[in-house]
Amino acid sequence: MSSNIAAIVDYSAWRAATSVQNITNPLTGELLDIASVYGAGQDLYPDPTHPGQMIQPAPEKPLEPFQHVSDLPDAPTVTTWTQDVLVELEWTVPMRLYVARGDLRTLRGTLLPFYDAYLAAFWRDYRLGGDPTNPVQTEALCQHAYIRTLRVEADDDWGWLYMELAVLEEVAWP
């Protein structure tokens, strides 16, 4: 058996799109939703933001505000290697939610309510699947997943909420 990291990345995009919804902007009172999601693009999960399509690989640059991107991570850290040939891999999956670039106060105010929404989404689904009532993933993809880092970043064109999803995956090696 090999790692499920590509499925984990796409599933994290699906989870964001299905759970991070109806967020109230504290500056305007407007209800905000994720407009689009991108991941590894393995054709494993439907894209809730584009009915009839599967989650696609992320474009090089953001295409619209409130676009969520889950990226393939760098190499994992091997945390445990057992005699029964199980290895635990710790992955750090980078995720970003892009918004239009404005002044820093507006950027932070717009992104602030998304902190709780993302934390709650991955707290409730900390094994990334494994619930028989889950419509797309009845088996757990990992032992544990949680958002380890949240911070606001920006360049000249876009602002974004940068998140690191820490994932502990157990893999049996032949």
Residues 155-171, mean pLDDT to the nearest whole number: 96
Q: What pTM does this model have?
A: 0.94
Distant-in-sequence, close-in-space partners of 82: CB < 8 Å, separation ≥ 6: none
pLDDT of residue 166: 98
Q: Are 13 and 165 in contact (CB under 8 A)?
A: no
Find, among 12, 44, 24, the residue nearest to 165 by Cα: 12
Q: Distance of CA 155 to CAs 103, 124, 159, 160, Å?
A: 11, 32, 6, 9
Cα-to-chain-centroid distance, residue 172:
25
- Match 């239009």 to its residue by tokens: 100
pLDDT of residue 1: 62
Reported as a single tens digit per residue, the pLDDT across 10-35 is 999 999 999 999 999 888 899 999 99
Reported as a single tens digit per residue, the pLDDT across 44-101 is 999 999 999 999 999 999 999 999 999 999 999 998 777 777 899 999 999 999 999 8
Percent of the chain predicted with pLDDT > 90: 83
Q: For the chain, give the mean pLDDT.
A: 93
pLDDT band at 173 (very low <50, low <70, confident <90, very high): confident
Contacts for 20-29 with beta carbons within 8 Å, 24 or more apart? 20/68, 20/97, 20/114, 20/117, 20/118, 20/121, 21/117, 23/113, 23/114, 23/117, 24/113, 25/109, 25/110, 25/113, 26/109, 26/112, 26/113, 27/106, 27/109, 27/110
Residues 135-164, mean pLDDT to the nearest whole number: 96
Decide if pLDDT at 174 tops 70: no
Decide if pLDDT at 162 tops 90: yes
